[in-house]
Amino acid sequence: MANLNMLVPVGILFVVAAIALSLGADVVSNVQGDQVAGTYAHNVSGYGLDGMQELASWIPTIALVVAAAIIIGIVVRFLGN
């Protein structure tokens, strides 16, 4: 049987993912700032930064889906007993 203590790793995963995306975006932004505008490296780092920002924008949606699944699971578990 699952219990709420098993949710701690999920919470830690979201915190680590948010920190990693934040630091990664900062690093890519600094790398892009060191490149000459219009060069291939500048464009690639710009696309990487755009991709990281797009992925980071999905974290609240993913967290909402996980929270809804947990709540539905708890409700079904207690109504099933």
What's the mean per-residue pLDDT of the chain? Answer: 84
Higher per-residue confidence, 78 vs 5: 78
- In this predicted structure, the answer to whether residue 64 has a pLDDT above a threshold of 50 is yes
Tally the C-alpha atoms within 13 A of residue 45's C-alpha that lie toward its C-beta.
19
Domain range enclosing 71 = 4-80
14-30 mean pLDDT: 88
Number of structural domains (the chain) is 1
Collapse the DSSP code of 44 into the 3-class scheme (helix H, G, I; strand E, B; otherwise coil) and give the result: helix
Do the beta carbons of residue 28 and residue 53 sit within 8 Å? no
